[in-house]
Structure 1
Amino acid sequence: MGEVKLSVEDLHKSFRTDAGVLPVLDGVRFDIAPGEFVSVIGPSGCGKSTLFNVIAGLERPDAGRVVVDGRDTTGRSDPFAYMPQQDLLFPWRTVLDNTTLGLEVAGVPRRVARERARALFGPFGLAGFESAHPQELSGGMRQRAALLRTVVQDRAVLLLDEPFGALDSLTRADMQEWLEGVRTGFEWTVLLITHDIREAVLLSDRVLVLAPRPTRVHLEVEVDLPHPRRLDVITEPRFAQLEDVLLNALRGRHPEV
Structure 2
Amino acid sequence: MPEPGHETKLLLDDLRKVYPGLPVLDGVTFDVAPGEFVSVIGPSGCGKSTLFNVIAGLERPDSGRVLVDGDDATGHVEPFAYMPQQDLLFPWRTVLDNTTLGLEVAGMSRRAARERARPLFAEFGLDGFESAHPYELSGGMRQRAALLRTVVQDRAVLLLDEPFGALDSLTRTDMQTWLDGVRGRFGWTVLLITHDIREAVFLSDRVVVLGPRPTRVQREVTVDLPRPRDIGLITSAEFAAIEEELLTVLRDRSR
Aligned positions, number? 250
CA deviation string 1:151-192 (max 9, x = no partner):
000000000000000001111111011101111110210000
Give the C-alpha shift of residue 110 in structure 1. 1.2
User: What residue in structure 2 maps to residue 10 of structure 1?
Assistant: 14
Whole-angstrom distance in 2 between the partners of 1:180 and 1:68: 23
Whole-angstrom distance in 2 between the partners of 1:41 and 1:222: 14
**Does 2:59 match 1:59?**
yes
Aligned 8 A contact 2:212 2:253 in 1? no
* Moved >6 Å (runs of 4+): none
Whole-angstrom distance in 1 between the partners of 2:182 and 2:157: 17
What pairs up with 1:164-179 in 2 under 5 angstroms? 164-179=164-179
CA deviation string 1:134-156 (max 9, x = no partner):
00000000000000000000000
**Does 2:125 match 1:125?**
yes
| Residue identity in the other structure for 1:141 | M
Unaligned segments of structure 1, at least 5 residues? none
User: What residue in structure 2 maps to residue 242 of structure 1?
Assistant: 242
Give the C-alpha shift of residue 112 in structure 1. 1.2
Whole-angstrom distance in 1 between the partners of 2:228 and 2:112: 32
Normalising by structure 2, what TM-score?
0.97
User: What residue in structure 2 maps to residue 26 of structure 1?
Assistant: 26
User: What residue in structure 1 maps to residue 230 of structure 2?
Assistant: 230
RMSD of aligned C-alpha atoms?
1.0
User: What residue in structure 1 maps to residue 206 of structure 2?
Assistant: 206
Whole-angstrom distance in 2 between the partners of 1:205 and 1:253: 25
| SS of aligned partner of 2:74 | coil
Whole-angstrom distance in 1 between the partners of 2:252 and 2:54: 25
Give the C-alpha shift of residue 229 in structure 1. 0.3
Aligned 8 A contact 2:211 2:253 in 1? no
| SS of aligned partner of 1:119 | helix
Whole-angstrom distance in 2 between the partners of 1:234 and 1:180: 14
Whole-angstrom distance in 2 between the partners of 1:66 and 1:173: 32
| Residue identity in the other structure for 2:73 | T
Give the C-alpha shift of residue 253 in structure 1. 7.4
Give the C-alpha shift of residue 108 in structure 1. 1.1
What pairs up with 1:94-243 in 2 under 5 angstroms? 94-243=94-243
Unaligned segments of structure 2, at least 5 residues? none
Whole-angstrom distance in 2 between the partners of 1:129 and 1:81: 23
Normalising by structure 1, what TM-score?
0.96
From the superposition, tell whether residues 253 and 43 of structure 1 become closer, same or farther in structure 2 (CA, over 3 Å). Answer: closer
